[in-house]
Amino acid sequence: MALDPDAFTRCDRSAVWPILQQRWSEAGRSFDLRQAFALDPDRATHFAIEAPHVFADLSKNLLDRETRDLLVELARECGLPAQRDALFGGEALNLTEQRQVMHWLLRVPPVSAAWRPSGLDRLGAELAEVHATLDAMLAFAERVRADEAITDIVNIGIGGSDLGPQMAVLALDTCAQPQRRRLHFVSNVDGHELDAVLRGVRPESTLFLVASKTFTTIETMTNARSAREWFSAQGGRDVARHFAALTTNVEAARAFGIDTTFGFWDWVGGRYSMWSAIGLPIAIAVGADNFRALLAGAHAMDAHFATTPLERNLPVQLALLDIWYRNFHGFSSRSIAPYHSGLRRLPAYLQQLEMESNGKRVDRRGEPLPFATSPVLWGEPGTNGQHAYFQMLHQGTDVVPVEFIAVRDAAHALPGHHVQLLANVLAQAQALMLGKEDAGGHRHFTGNRPSTMLLLERLDPASLGALVALQEHRVFCSGALWGINSFDQWGVELGKVLAKDLAPRLESGDTEGLDASTAMLVRRLHG
């Protein structure tokens, strides 16, 4: 069943929207965090949320209980609970492509859990296929792990077919012990990337995974063809043993010459696909049990999102804050600061998740929106960011809400490091909020700069799964309130078409019909 685009009120058409606007001009614009803590002794605990594997301190954000209640009212008026139920009911939320959005189905455990998504009543066949594919993929991963002859795995994929697996493999590095093999990720069409990897591997000990939902993406197909040519040129035999495909387009993989294929379905969006066969590199790195734990952590967050009242529902509360900052305060970016070097690719992963999902200027009916949508996401792991751009966060002219992620237990035994790391993450959040008076100007910190703190007990498969699912659902919620389709990505198409036209022109030098600037650049680059 397709979602009715008119079934839900768009945020700006709700009755509470003008009340929120008034609230912002009367109390939001001048809100002071230090004062708020002084006035409300329970503020820290009141704005803390305990979700599966993730504890969130939202108290250092620029809102009080009254504003939070108005935002919850906004969620109700926009039918957020019903939109969430449509997601877990398997409705075709992706209207422009007439597709269901069911990445959550990939994490439903085989034996009935405490919470069952409503759509399962109709999705028994799909769930059975999910589990059959998962079992086959995990069995393959275990065979690769046991195969002493394979020393290198090269994942060739881009966007959702790269960012999730790469981020998770780095994050779960310590679960991969003993590490007997190297995982490489090649995404860019820039041959430097593949070339560097190929220089360090041998055909007889390498497994190439060609990861592409569509199996048509130019970067991935160019890299895959070059890898196959290199393999043959180096005397490699047995393509069947050394290449596997992860795709919804099994036919195209076969036509490419790959027989070992792990499939998935068009109802899994690329940026939501690390739970599917696209997660094979993760399973090879950490093993089947850890991959199942990753799914279980995400499923626990699904259950939290589906069943927790809006006031205590972490994805909902994060999304409401995002709306408050973007549409009322006018903040145009959010900085992600994971204080764990294993999460160093998380900002890049979240960029695709949020900006490809919600970087839209029209609503579900295609009508231009009169308000701002996706913020720019950016960030680096702490403490590195502190020595680069935190100057701007503390004293710049723009206010940038920061999302800190801290992990209580270290997964290494080096003395002295972890306490420094944790002291720094707390200090940065404190400094942003408290500021510091100094008459001299240069040393003055205004403070009152907002941040959220997400705490994990440890970075393990279950907590990573929960953290990622949390972010998926938060993006879903803000998209639902904005009334946009968060599940298509037409904005990436035009550039692809133009590049197809320009590639032969760069070889021939033909500039006929091009705009003057592009023609000049083609002439410069030709030959």
- Pick from 228, 194, 224: which is nearest to 211 by CA? 224
**CA–CA separation, 405 and 393 (whole Å):** 16
Instruction: Tell me the two tokens of residue 102.
Output: 């069911």
Cα→Cα distances 59→31, 453, 456, 521, Å: 13, 9, 17, 51
DSSP code of residue 99? B
Instruction: Tell me the two tokens of residue 229.
Output: 């040519």
Let me know the angle formed at the C-alpha of 520 by 514 and 526, rounded to the nearest 5 degrees.
95
Instruction: Tell me the two tokens of residue 73.
Output: 């009212």
Return the number of the residue (50 or 493) whose C-beta is nearest ligand F6P.
493
Return the number of the residue (83 or 489) whose C-beta is nearest ligand F6P.
489
Helix 80-88 with 461-482: angle, nearest 10 deg: 130
User: What is the smallest separation between the CB atom of 272 and ligand F6P, expressed in angstroms?
Assistant: 9
Asked about 387 being catalytic, the answer comes back as: yes
**CA–CA separation, 9 and 123 (whole Å):** 28
Return the number of the residue (221 or 300) whose C-beta is nearest ligand F6P.
221
**CA–CA separation, 213 and 206 (whole Å):** 22
Residue whose pair of structure tokens reads 């006035």 in the numeric block: 39
Given the residues 387, 436, 444, 526, select the one marked as catalytic.
387
Given the residues 46, 436, 444, 496, select the one marked as catalytic.
496
DSSP code of residue 386? G
Given the residues 356, 380, 403, 472, select the one marked as catalytic.
356
User: What is the smallest separation between the CB atom of 139 and ligand F6P, expressed in angstroms?
Assistant: 23
Return the number of the residue (159 or 165) whose C-beta is nearest ligand F6P.
159
User: What is the smallest separation between the CB atom of 219 and ligand F6P, expressed in angstroms?
Assistant: 8
Instruction: Tell me the two tokens of residue 462.
Output: 């279950």
**CA–CA separation, 67 and 72 (whole Å):** 9
**CA–CA separation, 279 and 294 (whole Å):** 10
**CA–CA separation, 354 and 230 (whole Å):** 36
User: What is the smallest separation between the CB atom of 475 and ligand F6P, expressed in angstroms?
Assistant: 14
User: What is the smallest separation between the CB atom of 522 and ligand F6P, expressed in angstroms?
Assistant: 23
Return the number of the residue (159 or 338) whose C-beta is nearest ligand F6P.
159
Return the number of the residue (14 or 220) whose C-beta is nearest ligand F6P.
220
**CA–CA separation, 372 and 366 (whole Å):** 15
Under a CB-based contact definition with an 8 Å cutoff, are residues 458 and 467 in contact? no
Return the number of the residue (220 or 335) whose C-beta is nearest ligand F6P.
220
User: What is the smallest separation between the CB atom of 352 and ligand F6P, expressed in angstroms?
Assistant: 7
The sign one gets for the Cα dihedral 455, 78, 102, 350 is negative
User: What is the smallest separation between the CB atom of 311 and ligand F6P, expressed in angstroms?
Assistant: 34
The sign one gets for the Cα dihedral 164, 170, 173, 178 is positive
Q: Which amino acid is at 398?
A: D
Residue whose pair of structure tokens reads 């589990």 in the numeric block: 131
Return the number of the residue (165 or 375) whose C-beta is nearest ligand F6P.
165
Under a CB-based contact definition with an 8 Å cutoff, are residues 210 and 258 in contact? yes
Q: What residues contact residue 68 under an 8 Å CB cut-off, 6+ apart?
A: 47, 311, 317, 320
**CA–CA separation, 150 and 121 (whole Å):** 42
Return the number of the residue (210 or 481) whose C-beta is nearest ligand F6P.
210
User: What is the smallest separation between the CB atom of 513 and ligand F6P, expressed in angstroms?
Assistant: 25
User: What is the smallest separation between the CB atom of 171 and ligand F6P, expressed in angstroms?
Assistant: 19
3-class SS letters over 72-86: HHHHHHCCHHHHHHH
The H or E element containing residue 250 is helix 250-256
Cα→Cα distances 179→134, 182, 359, 414, Å: 23, 8, 39, 19
Contacts to ligand F6P by CB under 6 A? 158-161, 212-214, 217, 220, 270-271, 356, 489, 492
The sign one gets for the Cα dihedral 498, 504, 510, 512 is negative
Return the number of the residue (396 or 491) whose C-beta is nearest ligand F6P.
491
User: What is the smallest separation between the CB atom of 6 and ligand F6P, expressed in angstroms?
Assistant: 27
Count Cβ atoms below 10 Å from residue 371 Cβ, excluding itself: 13
- What positions carry a catalytic annotation? 356, 387, 496
